Structure 1
Amino acid sequence: MSGFRALPSADQFLSSEAGRALAEAHGRTPTLAALRARLDAMRAAIRDGADGAALAAGLPELLAADLGAAARSALRPALNLTGTVLHTNLGRAILAEEAAKAALAAMRNPLALEFDLESGGRGQRDDHLRGLLRELTGAEDAAVVNNNAAAVLIALNALGQGREAIVSRGELIEIGGAFRMPDIMARAGVRLVEVGTTNRTHPRDYEDAITPETGLILKVHTSNYRIEGFTAEVEAPRLAEIARRAGVPLLNDLGSGSLADLSIYGLRREPTVAEAVAEGADLVTFSGDKLLGGPQAGFILGRKDLIAAINKNPLKRAVRLDKIRIAALEATLRLYRDPERLTRRLPTLRFLARPQAEIRAQAERLAPQVGGLLAGLGYGARAADCASQIGSGASPTDAIPSAGLRLTGRGGDAPDRLAALLRRLPRPIIGHIHDGALILDLRCLERDADLLEALEAL
């Protein structure tokens, strides 16, 4: 019984200096709930023979740890050292400083989001982006929704609800989370008409499939996989001719979609949005948070009459953007007006354009420091070459030469144990396991101090 008497009551603890400090920092109600849970656990430990006085002495520290863990968000910043620049599970693109400032200003202030400052009447939220998108792509008009899947969904629904949509079998993609193009088409209310084969589709396949029930032709850029060997596809300009002759619209879904020519950064050339518009598609859709380097969004560009129909569609309100993302997108798009400074100002392109020699020098610089921090845990670190990738379905077969830290320890499970330990840090460090080691690809690490400070929490 004496062991139990060593524990304070909830009221006694909350009246103490330590209790008052915790209640002030975390709130009385959360502190009381955590205190009761901790006291219950201590009573159970005493029944099993634990020393009540020792438990009571450690109560303030344990309770502070409990409350700190409860207050810590799982959305805390992490270090993406996976080698995947646009990592879907880590939030994809890092926003430019200009975009982050614009988003913060939008959070803190009322904005003329749907208010026309000239007339004093109601405006349209897409107007803040429409002019920039037209300028940068050459499109007649533009609409913006909350992601590219929504862009494809509403475009299909507006153009082909209750009718047929023709698409090549080789373009019936599946994107992350097992979302499949046929499923999106079904939800949009269009009837799927597959043409061609998995590896080869010809112009006559589309021409033979067109009927009075055809609502549109859909082309999907297969950015998240490659079919190689004995293949054939109908390029967008030829498909646009077929659609025009038949009097049906062509929807070209670019997926990732880029406003810049990636080949100038030494990457595989992907079709740009401006090229897709010029090739004659009636509508073009693409993402905002992938190669564009902005917040999550879906863009729909093309013919003015078709964009007007999309804006009148009841789905448009369900998938519209809020003021914060519109502000961040506007700031991001403005950066593309100054292509000479784009890689310095846009993190996504800056990461992708980093030369391997620069990253290797960083790895050589960090290896002895990181090795020193991990030595006590039985791990060593050395600089090593590795390969990065763009991620989020863009150029999945292309490896970008990179460099990083190869972390090794004793035992076959050493990489897994270290990876789990680094994930539990206040600022988690996320790498990838390869060939018996934990690899920290440094392509996306701009400041050495960020990694060293995160590791010091060990």
Structure 2
Amino acid sequence: MSEDGGKTLDGLARIPSVERLMSSAPFESLIAVHGRIQTIATLRRVLDQCREAAQSTPTSLAQTSYEFFAAQTSALLDADARLRLRPVFNLTGTVLHTNLGRALLPDSAVQAVVDALSRPVNLEFDLDTGARGDRDDLVVPVLRELTGAQAATVVNNNAAAVLLMLAALAPGKEVVVSRGELVEIGGAFRIPDIMSRAGARLREVGTTNRTHLRDYAEAIGPRTALLMKVHASNYAIEGFTHEVELGALARFGREHSLPVAVDLGSGSLVDLAHYGLPKEATVRQTLEAGADLVAFSADKLLGGPQAGLIVGRKDLIAKIKKHPLKRALRVGKLTLAALEPVLQLYRAPEFLRERLTTLRLLTRPTTEMQAAAERLLPVFERAIGPTYTVRVEPMLSQIGSGALPVDLLPSAGLVARRADGKAGERVLLRLEDALRALPRPVIGRIADHALRLDLRCLETADEAVFAAQLASLRL
């Protein structure tokens, strides 16, 4: 037998048995936390790894104490038990970041969700009559008040709202849409694809940059079921352009007994211009302009949980709610628990900036981010060391999630660059990786040969947590 073969056998022989390890003192605490079944399964993984290592590199198995195997097993158990969905610091500069969960809920909505999680609720129970109720009725009254709609319904996102609307109102028939409005948004949501899945046939009119009312007039026929306008939520066409205003299209629709539906995308319930933000048509304004139905998101500009809302004519909403897809796309109690308090905040718009998290973040004055950056600068400098230089610099945040795509918000934050002045990004990527590995991961962005941490979404209450964990940064 070779010398290496002897070392391998010797190393393997020194590995304790599963039974001995599991009955040892170091494993008692692991069993108490993770349970015997999970602990023994993880220990077997550790032992398999040790045996493989000993066979490939005979000198690799230097430690065979019970404490060593307990530590290895504990590390794997902790990693497996760590929740995949974790809080992060969103320092990307995008307030409504789709990949980071979009809108943050206000405290009233968070508490309502906790209550719905921990107690029975009247999800489909009418407290006045004692009979079975409709879960939509929990939010329909306030939606009608805020939008002026005759009726409303709720599904799990705006894509579902559009799908259901088309499936209920235009199965096997044509829906007329301007070519300039055939949008694609994140996750490969395309209006033509949604139409085909809903069983409706797309009838394109006009051109990418110009569509006229005569284009709609030439397109309609006996198989036309719906006229549809789609908000260009993630792009803007500029230059030689023309689109048919909603009011004109609505009058045309009424003349030909064709309902007009609007996919508003983000869907604001208040005039954002009152808060110093770019103007966006509200849901109420869209209905008042003549739309028969409006579909919009609850988790973008509205600042609520993920949901899709459809408001408009009572007869059309009733038809939509009777469609079999409605049950498949309906929302659960947690969404409704969060949505109602958010909608209630809009009943007192004078307090909205203070109480609605999304609006508060969008309207933060630049001086707040500048002051936060100045406070955090020395802490961040010490944490990342001499490999980098850090400065406080002005930035431009964006609203995100396709809302007002060309509008930017003045902001400020921390900018880290290579101290040697070189443009290579490998060193910056190492810093970016280290920030993501922190207990509460920090998500920034690399642009123009620098790592940029926009502090718009770092509120004062979270600064201490952000600063404290930088001590554990490992580069």
Normalising by structure 1, report the TM-score. 0.97
2:34 aligns with 26
Task: Say yes or no: does 1:17 pair with 2:49.
Answer: no
2:89 aligns with 79
Give runs of ≥4 in structure 1 deviating > 4 Å: none
Shift of 1:291: 0.6
Shift of 1:10: 1.6
Among 211, 233, 256, which residue is 1:223 paired with?
233
1:44 aligns with 52
The DSSP-based 3-state class of the residue aligned with 1:396 is strand
Distance in 1 between the 2:273 and 2:206 partners?
31
Shift of 1:46: 2.9
Pairing of 1:130-169 with structure 2 (within 5 A): 130-169=140-179
The DSSP-based 3-state class of the residue aligned with 2:63 is helix
Task: Say yes or no: does 1:4 pair with 2:12.
Answer: yes
Distance in 2 between the 1:35 and 1:424 partners?
25
Deviations 1:330-360 (A, max 9, x none): 0110111111111211111111001112111
Among 251, 258, 261, which residue is 2:268 paired with?
258
| Paired letter, 1:31 | T
The DSSP-based 3-state class of the residue aligned with 1:143 is strand
Pairing of 1:85-124 with structure 2 (within 5 A): 85-124=95-134
Distance in 1 between the 2:108 and 2:417 partners?
39
User: Would you say the 8 A contact 1:429–1:454 is kept in 2?
Assistant: no
Q: Identify which range, 26-35 or 287-296, moves more after superposition.
A: 26-35
| Paired letter, 1:449 | A
Shift of 1:55: 4.8
Task: Say yes or no: does 1:398 pair with 2:407.
Answer: yes
Distance in 1 between the 2:19 and 2:438 partners?
34
2:366 aligns with 356
Deviations 1:127-183 (A, max 9, x none): 000000001111111111111011111111221111110000000000111121001
Distance in 1 between the 2:88 and 2:285 partners?
36
Distance in 1 between the 2:439 and 2:319 partners?
48
Shift of 1:227: 0.2
User: Would you say the 8 A contact 1:106–1:327 is kept in 2?
Assistant: yes
Task: Say yes or no: does 1:35 pair with 2:43.
Answer: yes
| Paired letter, 2:451 | L
Distance in 2 between the 1:55 and 1:374 partners?
36
Pairing of 1:263-412 with structure 2 (within 5 A): 263-375=273-385, 378-409=387-418, 412=424
Shift of 1:51: 5.4
Distance in 1 between the 2:17 and 2:392 partners?
55
Equivalenced residue count is: 457
Distance in 1 between the 2:375 and 2:455 partners?
12
2:472 aligns with 457
Distance in 2 between the 1:453 and 1:223 partners?
38
1:186 aligns with 196
User: Would you say the 8 A contact 1:265–1:352 is kept in 2?
Assistant: no
Deviations 1:384-426 (A, max 9, x none): 1111101100111111111111122356211111112222222
Normalising by structure 2, report the TM-score. 0.93
Structure 1 stretches of 5 or more lacking a match?
Answer: none
1:196 aligns with 206
User: Would you say the 8 A contact 1:276–1:284 is kept in 2?
Assistant: yes
Q: Identify which range, 202-211 or 226-235, moves more after superposition.
A: 202-211
User: Would you say the 8 A contact 1:114–1:124 is kept in 2?
Assistant: yes
Distance in 2 between the 1:345 and 1:314 partners?
37
1:170 aligns with 180
Distance in 1 between the 2:285 and 2:197 partners?
29
Shift of 1:4: 3.1
The DSSP-based 3-state class of the residue aligned with 2:404 is coil
User: Would you say the 8 A contact 1:6–1:53 is kept in 2?
Assistant: no
The DSSP-based 3-state class of the residue aligned with 1:389 is strand
Shift of 1:61: 2.3
Distance in 2 between the 1:69 and 1:383 partners?
36
| Aligned-residue RMSD, C-alpha | 1.4
User: Would you say the 8 A contact 1:139–1:301 is kept in 2?
Assistant: yes
The DSSP-based 3-state class of the residue aligned with 1:397 is strand
Q: Identify which range, 178-187 or 40-49, moves more after superposition.
A: 40-49
User: Would you say the 8 A contact 1:368–1:382 is kept in 2?
Assistant: no
1:427 aligns with 440
The DSSP-based 3-state class of the residue aligned with 1:399 is strand
The DSSP-based 3-state class of the residue aligned with 2:204 is strand
Distance in 2 between the 1:403 and 1:132 partners?
37
User: Would you say the 8 A contact 1:164–1:190 is kept in 2?
Assistant: yes
2:4 aligns with none
Distance in 1 between the 2:174 and 2:36 partners?
61
| Paired letter, 1:262 | L
The DSSP-based 3-state class of the residue aligned with 1:37 is helix
1:416 aligns with 429
Distance in 2 between the 1:143 and 1:8 partners?
63
Shift of 1:7: 2.8
Q: Identify which range, 378-387 or 30-39, moves more after superposition.
A: 378-387
1:54 aligns with 63
Shift of 1:382: 2.0
Distance in 2 between the 1:81 and 1:13 partners?
45
2:75 aligns with 65
